[in-house]
Amino acid sequence: MNFTLRLATPADAPSLRMLGLQVFLDTYAPDGVCDALAREAEETFSSSRVSGWLADPASALLVAAHATGLTGFAHLAHGASHPLVRGQAPTELQRLYVRRPFLGQGLGRALLLRAEQLAAERGAGVLWLTAWVGNARALAFYARQGYSDVGASDHVFEGQRFENRVFAKPL
């Protein structure tokens, strides 16, 4: 597959927003979209939120671009910590999203490796993330990439709790 990895620019905001919504719903609502999940998706990928990520100096977004547009992205939050994560200068991988047609082609791995490099270049000693327990593909992927499961953490929205696993890898 031919794609390029690069840092996102403000011009990428509309595509990042739609890509994020698409992958979010493909992952978390494979059987249908309920109102609470729709509100969570709208809030997470609102225009102002995505623009805020792009403007935040503690944030970095890597995009995978294909001839026809964006196919995936990785979102880093430098300095973000978690009580279960040990290590100097942690960085959180907040999202690693790849469009369904591009899964299994090495794109996620390429984005992850570049995200690890970028985090290390910015002084991170550990990269960590959370993955929903219902996403078996992601859980297996991070384990294969050398990430250790360090415990559970809940994601809560609209009073509902969703268990996530916390993964970390020293850089």
Instruction: Name residue 62's amino acid.
Output: L
What confidence score (pLDDT) does residue 21 get?
95
Position 160 pLDDT exceeds 70: yes
Q: Which tens digit of pLDDT belongs to each residue from 107-145?
A: 999 999 999 999 999 999 999 999 999 899 999 999 999
What confidence score (pLDDT) does residue 19 get?
97
Reported as a pLDDT band with limits 50, 70 and 90, residue 152 is very high
Q: Which tens digit of pLDDT belongs to each residue from 12-30?
A: 999 999 999 999 999 888 8
**87 Cβ neighbours under 8 A, 6+ residues apart:** 125, 126, 168, 170
Q: Percent of the chain beyond pLDDT 70?
A: 99
| Residue 29 near residue 87 (C-beta atoms within 8 A) | no
What confidence score (pLDDT) does residue 1 get?
64
Position 73 pLDDT exceeds 70: yes
Could you tell me the CA-to-CA distances from 8 to 19, 27, 147, 148, 160 in Å, in that order? 13, 23, 25, 28, 32
